[in-house]
Structure 1
Amino acid sequence: MKASRGLPADLAHPFSPRGRADPYPAYRWLRANDPVHFDVTSRMWLLTGHADCALALRDPRFSAALGQRERVREDALPPSMLTTDPPEHQRLRSPGALLLGPAAIRGIAAGIAREVDEVMAGLAGRTEVEVTADIGEPVATGVLARLFGLPAAARTEFAGLAARTSVNLDPLAGPKEAAAGRAAMGELTRFLGAHADRALGGRDEDGRTSPFGRLAADDRLTRPEMLGVASLAIVGGWKPLAEMVGNALYWLLPRPEEAARLREGGEEAAGTAVDELLRVEAPIPFIARVTTEAVPLDGGTIPSGARVLALIAAANRDPAVFDRPDDLVVTRSPNPHLAFGGGTHFCLGAPLVRHAGALLLHDLLSRYPGLRATGSPPVWAPSLVPRRLDGFTLAL
C-alpha cells in the first residue's frame, strides 16, 4: 500500500463538519496531488479524477454488492438494484424500468405538469417561502404520488414516510437515526404493499394505469422484490428531488444571466440546465464500491478487497474534462457528469429527475422573475447524503 500524503493542515477533511460545508478545496487538492488516495481516517480509497471514478462505476472489479460495507451502520441493506452486481442487478432493474423508465415518465408527464402547476399556483399572494418545505417537498410528493398512483387521501402519510426513510441515504447516520430509518422502511413497505393491489386496477384522470400498477402486475419479481424496487425509488428519489430546487436556486439566483438562459429557453434548454446544476452540486456526492481484485490506476494500485469511494462531486469538477469546472454554465453540452452514476448502475430515476426538475425550475423562474434570496444565508446541512441546504428562504 502506498503512503498517504495527507491533506495540508489548512484544508478540512471533506467528511468533517467543516469539510461538509465546503468539500471542494479538499477535492481539488486531492485530484491534483493524490487522485488515488488512501484515507487513514475512513480507511477507504478516495478517487477524485473523472476517469478513475467513471472506471469504478463501470468496471466489474469494483463491486456494488460489497460496497455497502463502507457504511458505519451495522444493519444490512436489503437486496436491491443499489446493492447487487450483474446478473442479479439486471434481473431487478429490467422490471424496475416499468416504474422509472423513459416510457413510464412520458406516461405521467401531463400529471407531473399538473402537480408543478398546483404548487406554483399555491405560492400566489405570498411574499416569502422556504424553498424545500414550500416548493421542493410538495413537488416531490406530488410527482411520486403520480408515479405510484396514490389517492389524495394517502399523500400526507406518504410524505411523512418518505421524509422519515430518507435517513437511509446517509451511510454515516448514527445508531439512533439508523434505527428510526429501519422502522420507517418497514412502515413504508407495508404502506406500499397495501397500495399495490389498488394500483393494479386503478386509473388516473387520463385513463392510464400508474407505473407502480404496471410494476405490481409484472411477474418477473416476487412481491418482496417488487416492493424493494418501489421502496428504493422513494428512498432514493423523494429527498434528492425535494432538495434539488434549493441547490439549483443557490447557484442560479446570484447568476441572473444563467437564470435567464434557463427561463427563456425551451424544454430542451431547461433539461440541459438541470444536468449542469447536478454537475456543480451533486446530491449524492460519492458512490461506494469494494474491489474484487487489485486494480492498477495511474495514481496507484488499489488492492483487492479495498473499500473505495468514487467521489462524484470531485469528478464532476475535473478540469481535464470540464472547461471552467467550478462555474455554472447552463448551456454546457456535452456534459459527461457522473451525478447519475454510470455503467449498469446508471440511475434508473434519471428521466424523472430531468423531466420534473426542468419543468419545475422553468415554471418557477418564469412565474416569479423577481425571485431573490432573503433572510439569513442558507447553510449546508451536516448530513453527507444528500447534499442539501437548510433555511433557504425566498422573496417572491
Structure 2
Amino acid sequence: MDLQEKLMDDPYDVYRRLRETSPVHRIAGTDGNPAWLVTRYADVRAALADPRLSLDKRHAAEGGYRGLSLPPALDANLLNMDPPDHTRIRGFVARAFTARRVEELRTPIRETADRLLDALGPQGTTDLIASYAAPLPIIVICDLLGVPEEHRRDFRAWTDALIAPDPTRPQAAKEAVAAMLGFFLDLVAHKRRHPGADLLSDLVAVRDADGDRLTEDELLSLAFLILFAGYENTVQLIGNAVLALLQHPYQLAVLRKDPSRLRAAVEEAARYEGPALLAIRRFPTEDVTIGGVTVPAGETVLLSLSAANRDPDRFSGPDLFDLYRDTTGHLALGHGIHYCLGAPLARAETEIALAALLDRFESLALADGDARWRPSLRARGLVELPVRYGKAAAAR
C-alpha cells in the first residue's frame, strides 16, 4: 500500500507517524508530481501566515504538483491569489459573511433545517448526508447568492468528480468542470437580465459599472468559489460533527444535557474531524526554511490542517473527542489572510443543524451499514451517513 492509499485508509495514523518522524516530507501529489508535506502545528500555522508562500500559480516551478486545473473563467478566484488582488476581490464579498449578517440568517437557516427534518417523518432510517447535511447548505448558499430554485442543481456530483475523481471515469472531472462553467455563465447572464436583492446581483452590478474593479473572469470565479466552498465545507462540517457525536455517545449525552456546549461541540468537531485534510497548495517565492527543512523557491508546499489539529504538542490527547477541550487556535478553517471567508456562516449552519436535529429526535444512532468516507487526499467528508432516528424530544 503506497502513501496515498494509506492516507485514504487512515489519514490520522499516517499523519501521526509522519509528524513524529520529521516535520516536512517530500511526497508525490495526486498527479504524481512532487510536493513538500508539512504536518506539525507550529510549522503549519506559521506557514499559513507566511507571505513568502504564494497561492499564485505563476510562482510555481515546472514539474511540481499544482493542484486542480480549471479554465480561466473559474480559475481567477481567491484560492489562486495573493495581495493586492486577493484583498480587492475578498473585499467585494466580506460584508456578506460578517457576524451581524450571519446572525440575521439564523432564523431562515433554522426554518430550512426544520423543513428538511419534517420531510423525514417522526422515525425511521435515512442517509443523513443526502437528506439533511447536503441540502441544507446548498439551500442557504443559493438563497444568499440568489440562485433561482429552477436553476439549482445537484452540486454534489460535480464536487465529487473534482475532489475524489473516479479512476474508472477519467473524463468525469473535465465533464464536471464544463458543466459548472456552463452553469455559472448562464447564472450570471440571468442576473444581468433579472437582478435581485442578492449577493450575485450586487457583484454583477459592480462588474458592469466598473470593469476595472472586477473582471468578467473574476466575477465568474468568485461566484463559483462562493457556491462551491460555501456548500462543500459546510456539508462536511455537519456530517463529520454528527458522526463524531454518534461515535462518542457520552459526549452526545453531555451535549443533550447541556446545550450551552453546542458551539464548543462545533469547534471540537472541526478540530477533531475538519472538512479539509490539506490547505490549498502554496509556492515559495524564495527559498524558505520550514521545520529546519529548506524548500526551494517554486516547489509545492502542502500544509496538513488535520495533522496540525491532532498534534499533541498543541492539543493534549488530540485523538480524543472532548466537548470541554480548549480548541482555541485550531486550523480547520485556516489562518492568516486566507482564513475561510465563509467560516462564520459555516459555523452557524453546523450549530443550527445540530440543534435542530437533537431537538427533533431524542433517539439518534448509527444505522446498519458503515459511514463511508469520500476517497480524497484533500477533503475530509462523508459520502454516506446511515442513521436511525425517532421519538420526538421535549422542547427545551
Flag whether TM exceeds 0.5 (same fold).
Answer: yes
Change (3 A) 1:184 1:98: farther
Quote the residue 2:102 is aligned against.
105
How far apart in 1 are the matches of 2:315 and 2:338? Answer: 23
Alignment of 1:212-361 (within 5 A): 212-218=200-206, 220-266=213-259, 269-287=261-279, 288-361=281-354
How far apart in 2 are the matches of 1:361 and 1:383? Answer: 25
How far apart in 2 are the matches of 1:370 and 1:167? Answer: 31
Checking the alignment, whether the CA contact within 8 Å between 2:164 and 2:375 is kept in structure 1 is no
- After superposition, the C-alpha distances for 1:332-369 in whole angstroms (9 at most, x for unaligned) are 33421111111111000101100000000121122112
Give the share of equivalent positions with the same residue, in percent.
32
Q: Displacement, 1:391?
A: 3.4
Amino acid of the structure 2 residue aligned with 1:84? M
Change (3 A) 1:100 1:230: farther
Alignment of 1:1-396 (within 5 A): 13-16=2-5, 18-39=6-27, 42-66=33-57, 70-71=65-66, 75=70, 78-151=75-148, 153-154=149-150, 157-160=151-154, 162-167=155-160, 170=163, 175-197=170-192, 200-201=195-196, 209-218=197-206, 220-266=213-259, 269-287=261-279, 288-396=281-389
TM-score (norm: length of structure 2)? 0.85
Moved more, 78-87 or 101-110: 101-110
Unaligned 5+ segments in structure 1 are 1-11, 202-208
Q: Displacement, 1:38?
A: 1.5
Q: Displacement, 1:136?
A: 1.2
Change (3 A) 1:358 1:199: farther
Amino acid of the structure 2 residue aligned with 1:262? L
Moved more, 224-233 or 27-36: 224-233
Amino acid of the structure 2 residue aligned with 1:193? V
Amino acid of the structure 2 residue aligned with 1:270? L
How far apart in 1 are the matches of 2:79 and 2:161? Answer: 12
TM-score (norm: length of structure 1)? 0.85
How far apart in 2 are the matches of 1:22 and 1:91? Answer: 39
How far apart in 2 are the matches of 1:191 and 1:262? Answer: 44
Checking the alignment, whether the CA contact within 8 Å between 2:126 and 2:388 is kept in structure 1 is yes
Amino acid of the structure 1 residue aligned with 2:146? G
Amino acid of the structure 1 residue aligned with 2:263? G
Amino acid of the structure 2 residue aligned with 1:367? R
Q: Displacement, 1:130?
A: 0.4
Q: Displacement, 1:395?
A: 0.7
Amino acid of the structure 2 residue aligned with 1:232? L
Q: Displacement, 1:278?
A: 1.3
Q: Displacement, 1:255?
A: 1.4
How far apart in 1 are the matches of 2:327 and 2:375? Answer: 32
Q: Displacement, 1:53?
A: 0.9
Q: Displacement, 1:70?
A: 2.5
How far apart in 2 are the matches of 1:111 and 1:105? Answer: 10
